[in-house]
Structure 1
Amino acid sequence: MAISDWRAGEGPRDKLLQRGSQAVSDAELLAVLLRTGSPGNTAVQLASELLERFGGLNAVLSAERAQLLACRGMGESKYAQLQAALELARRSVQEGLHRGDLLTSPQQTQLFLRHHLGSQPREVFTCLFLDNQHRLLRCEDLFFGTLDGAAVYPREVAVRALEYRAAAVIFAHNHPSGVAEPSAADRRITERLCQALALLDIRVLDHIIVGRGQSCSFAESGLL
């Protein structure tokens, strides 16, 4: 049953419009995006099945295309709708972090990085290059893969930092597993990067690991 077939006032879309987005559940909010259900199921029932199967809203939105398309009631159109919603959220947050912006809030930085990296299906290593007043010079994804399987080269980071005349950097990478705890490899590569950049008098302010809906800061955890 499509949301447009619900009687006035009883569907998730009407509930959202009448009571506000905070009043609807994850399943109802997801149903508004999906718009239609599957044969014999409403959009809310389809949304509930997806949430149960994947283990939560973030897991649904970050699921791979083939995984979603394998679910009964899902198709290319619904997948595209979910990706569009996810990208709109990411771009909305990204608008608040432009070249020249002053990074004074760890919460703002982590929120940006969760949106930037949280839905990536593979590990991505990102660097935020800052001037001596902690204004953003450049945000760049430098390495792809896993920290064990695809090398992170301190020399390459140093070259980029010198190119952008950075005085400080913030590192970030995601854990597609969803767990934001730093691994032994994370600690080793952070130590190597800190040592390499210290020779150039470039400060490492933080290394942020992004998991599923959460993040872990090396600085806040006392690991830097």
Structure 2
Amino acid sequence: MSESATVEYTLLIRNMPANERPRERLQHYGAGALASSELIAILLRVGTEGESVLHVAQRLLGKYGGLPGLARASFDELCQEKALGPAKVTQLKAALELGKRLLVASPLDRPQVRSPAEAAELLMAEMSLLEQEQLRTILLDTRNTVLGIPVIYQGSLNSAAVRIGELFRHAIKANAAAMIVAHNHPSGDPAPSPEDVRVTRAIVEAGKLLDIDVLDHVVIGQQRFVSMKERGLGF
């Protein structure tokens, strides 16, 4: 990295109010208060010329579809990204693997979802940054404890493209009792479309046949969300 790139990054971070800088926020409020992009920025430490480390983190999350996509991306693929290299990719891969192992080792620490707001809180930091529509499911056990949040589909959401069987495949494999469907609107407006309602209705009906309760369909926009269950759309 050139000296000018380092100076530019430093100025960008220094220009941020102290209470908004990722490292300081982690120290004062704990890691749980930070968005995924901020945590990745701390791991990467520095950006590159013309791009702050926070923007690098946001770009990676958007391109790969959040943390699950980053975890699936190969080492060599990530090394081709601007601002990344073998050392940074190694750090990122190690952190993601630790997160997966912690989830397996500590099932009692898994979050519970009891409301649309809690479901949106799990996903909004990542999904509100995505440049494409993405559909995920929050898989839950009988106590509403999260079993997993697989990415099911990426692209424009429509009833012809979304395969209902594929959507439930992960739920059946995890022996989930219930699930919450979530997708984002890259426009930032979370208002459900007529197609969203049609897709939701098909998902709910399939869930009844498979004895998997579809609790809600949450549409995520720019720091806003809509619960389709609360609005009676598709349910």
Relative to the length of structure 1, the TM-score reads 0.60
SS at match of 2:182: strand
* Higher share in helix: 2
Letter in 1 for 2:171: A
What one-letter code is carried by the residue in structure 1 that aligns with 2:152?
A: L
Distance across 1 between alignment mates of 2:163 and 2:180: 15
Which deviations, in whole Å up to 9, do the C-alpha atoms of 1:45-78 show, x marking residues without a partner?
A: xxxxxxxxxxxxxxxx9xxxxxxxxxxxxx9534
C-alpha distance in 2 between matches for 1:5 and 1:103 = 39
Cα 1:76/1:129, change in 2 over 3 Å: same
Q: How far apart, in 1, do the equivalents of 2:187 and 2:138 lie?
A: 23
- Which of 177, 198, 223 is the matching residue for 2:187? 177
Distance in 2, Cα, partners of 1:141 & 1:4: 32
SS at match of 1:77: coil
**Amino acid paired to 1:119:** L
Partner secondary structure for residue 49 of structure 2: helix
| Alignment match, 1:140 | 150
Describe how 1:113-124 pairs up with structure 2 within 5 A.
113-124=123-134
- The number of residues matched between the two structures is 163
Q: 1:135 to 1:3 in 2, by over 3 A?
A: same
User: Are 2:80 and 1:82 equivalent residues in the alignment?
Assistant: no
SS at match of 2:202: helix
> Match of 2:181, SS?
strand
1:21 corresponding residue in structure 2: 19
Q: Which of residues 154, 160, 167 in structure 2 aligns to 1:157?
A: 167
CA RMSD of aligned residues (A): 3.6
Shift of 1:217: 1.1
Could you tell me which runs of 5 or more consecutive residues in structure 2 were left unpaired when the two chains were aligned: 1-6, 22-36, 38-46, 68-98
2-structure distance, mates of 1:182, 1:120: 17
Distance in 1, matches of 2:177 and 2:200, equals: 17
Q: CA deviation at 1:113?
A: 1.4
- Residue-by-residue CA offset, 1:1-29 (whole Å, 9 max, x unaligned): x79999xxxxx94883xxx537xxxxxx8
Instruction: Please say if residues 127 and 140 of structure 1, whose CA atoms lie closer than 8 Å, have aligned partners that are also in contact.
Output: yes
2:135–2:151 contact (8 Å) kept in structure 1: yes
Give the distance between the partners of 2:52 and 2:10, measured in 1 at CA. Answer: 22
Distance in 2 between residues matched to 1:145 and 1:161, nearest whole Å: 21
Whether the 8 Å contact between 1:172 and 1:210 is mirrored in structure 2 is yes
Alignment of 1:20-99 (within 5 A): 21=19, 77-84=49-56, 86=58
8 Å CA contact retained: 1:143, 1:151: no
Structure 1: runs of 5 or more not aligned = 7-11, 23-28, 30-60, 62-74
Question: Distance in 2 between the 1:182 and 1:113 partners?
Answer: 17
Identity %: 31
**Equivalent residue of 1:134, what SS?**
coil
- Whether the aligned pair in 1 keeps the contact of 2:220 and 2:226 (CA below 8 Å) is yes
**Structure 1 residue 206 corresponds to structure 2 residue 216:** yes
- The corresponding residue for 2:82 is none
What residue identity is the alignment partner of 2:55? Q
Larger Rg: 1
Partners of 1:76 and 1:15 lie apart in 2 by 17
Q: Residues 178 and 211 of structure 1 are in contact (CA less than 8 Å); yes or no, is this contact kept in structure 2?
A: yes
1:137 aligned partner, one-letter code = L
TM-score normalised by length of structure 2: 0.58
1:5 & 1:202 partners in 2: Cα distance? 50
CA distance in 2, matches of 1:4, 1:194: 48
